[in-house]
Structure 1
Amino acid sequence: MINNSEKMTTINRKYIRQILILFASSVLLTGVLTGFKWISEQDDDKVQIVMFGDSITKGGDWIALLGRGDVKTSGFPGFTTSHLVWLLKENVIDLKPRVCFLEGGINDIGVGIPLDRTKSNYRTLIDGLLEHQIIPVVQSILYQRDNPESKIQVDSMNSYLKAYCQSKGVYYLDINAKLSSSTGLKAQYTIDGTHINQDAYEIWAAEIKNLLDSRLKY
């Protein structure tokens, strides 16, 4: 027979297990709500450049690619520009970097978000950075490989972003010009038709370094 002491031990173990599960869940939820801010590549006090975007930004080892230790990668796979708006303060503004490189939008197109909303989100991102004296650098939404319908929408968005950046005196980097042809992302630069490979990242990084050296002097 199981005595009262054994019963209490079994009950206590169950409660402890439940508490641990609840604790783990709360930590995960906190990470989602804060944009996983605690996952950092270096001391946030030293961050001067933030690479902010979706999985395409996340896929680059930007510290190595740019050859400097003051870079933070804040890339969020699967996120739309609406998500980036929500995460801007915690993952960029609060770090007080000098420059923020923005990339995103292909997920918006993929899930059918109206372009007007994506445009509005970009205005919020750009204006929010300018308000806090952070230099925004908007990078073109990358084409996909052999996806003409997506390309039409990407072209529309990029034309808008280029014009808006000009109106605000903001830097715009056309990465598509280096990685794409008339049909979209070149086969030699993509691993799955959307995400890019190391060769593409190195070309992209060269454009960023050129801007930092020649225009931003940083």
Structure 2
Amino acid sequence: YAKENRVVFMGNSITEGWVNSDPDFFTKNNFIGRGISGQTTPQMLLRFRQDVIDLNPVAVVILAGTNDIAGNTGPMTTAQIFDNMVSMVELSEANGIVPIISSILPAAKYPWKPEVDSVGPILELNTMLKYYCEGKGLVYLDYFSEMVDDVNGLPKTLSYDGVHPTDEGYQVMEPLALTAINEALKD
């Protein structure tokens, strides 16, 4: 099949909220949002064929993992989350789709799971993902470094609850995403 000149954004509520915050960013760039609120990486893997592969995109931007750390579908280790991300990369590559792995966004606390340590696992998983991308020659889309505050969270200007971006937060993310996609698709 010839590839459609489109890019799928695979994710959770952060991706879903992005489409609502700035629909023009998606339509004008031929981007398709496939974010489902609250989802974890095993849930994304289950729908990866219908929501990514079947749309025949040139690339996929994967933003996942924060709900896993929060324990939305039960306890998950960083190794388990990482393995699910690797599976999404391998599914992409097997189907001729260029995968772009995003850092997990900073979160000092999960409002719905305040007892969970978010900072340690987010830093650990982002480090694992970054080295994995470097080792495989993939583009690592680092939102974390551009958005993090002094307590490893999201500043109030960029997030309304410490987890989900405001419109201003998405404005920070958009040029980073465009740069990463251009980098990943250049010959």
Normalising TM by the smaller chain, what interval?
Answer: 0.7 to 0.9
Q: How many angstroms apart in 1 are the aligned matches of 2:40 and 2:183?
A: 31
Deviations 1:97-122 (A, max 9, x none): 00100001010010131212111101
Q: Which is greater in Rg?
A: 1
How many residues are matched? 174
The whole-number CA distance in structure 2 between the counterparts of 1:153 and 1:75 is 22
Matches of 1:122 and 1:213, distance apart in 2:
21
Could you say which residue in structure 1 is the equivalent of 2:34?
A: 74
For residues 149 and 99 of structure 2, the distance between their equivalents in structure 1, rounded to whole angstroms, comes to 27
The alignment partner of 1:84 has SS state of: helix
CA displacement at 1:216 relative to structure 2: 2.6
Question: What are structure 1's unaligned runs of at least 5 residues?
Answer: 1-44
Q: What do the CA deviations read for 1:5-62 (whole angstroms, capped 9, x no partner)? A: xxxxxxxxxxxxxxxxxxxxxxxxxxxxxxxxxxxxxxxx966110100100111126
Give the alignment's TM-score, normalised by structure 2. 0.85
- Relative to its length, the structure with more helix (as a share) is 1
1:159 aligns with 2:132: no
Structure 1 position 168 matched with structure 2 position 136 = yes
Given the alignment, which residue of 193, 196, 217 partners 2:162? 193
Structure 2 spans left out of the alignment, 5+ residues:
111-115
Question: TM-score, length-normalised on structure 1?
Answer: 0.73
Match of 1:121 among 84, 108, 116: 84
User: Aligned partners of 1:102 and 1:205: how far apart in 2?
Assistant: 14
Q: Tell me what 2:10 maps to.
A: 52
**CA RMSD between the two structures:** 2.1
Runs of 4+ in 1 over 6 A off after TM superposition: none
User: Retained in 2: the 8 A contact 1:47–1:95?
Assistant: no
Relative to structure 1, is the Cα distance of residues 66 and 211 closer, same or farther in structure 2, using a 3 angstrom cutoff? Answer: farther
Pick closer, same or farther for the CA change 1:46–1:127 going to 2, 3 Å. Answer: closer
CA-to-partner distance for each residue in 1:86-105, whole Å, 9 max, x for gaps? 11001001111001000010
Say whether residues 1:204 and 2:162 are aligned partners. no
Structure 1 residue 188: Cα displacement: 1.1
Cα distance in structure 1, aligned partners of 2:24 and 2:123: 30
Relative to structure 1, the CA distance from residue 216 to residue 192 in structure 2 (aligned partners, 3 Å threshold; closer, same or farther) is same
In the TM superposition, residue 182 of structure 1 has moved relative to its aligned partner by: 3.1
- Looking at structure 1, the residues matched to 4 and 97 of structure 2 have their Cα atoms a distance apart, in angstroms, of 15
Residues 140-175 of structure 1 show CA distances to partners (whole Å, capped at 9, x for unaligned) of 011114579211100000110111111221110110
Q: Secondary structure at the match of 1:192?
A: coil
Residues 180 and 157 of structure 1: CA distance in aligned 2, closer, same or farther (over 3 Å):
same
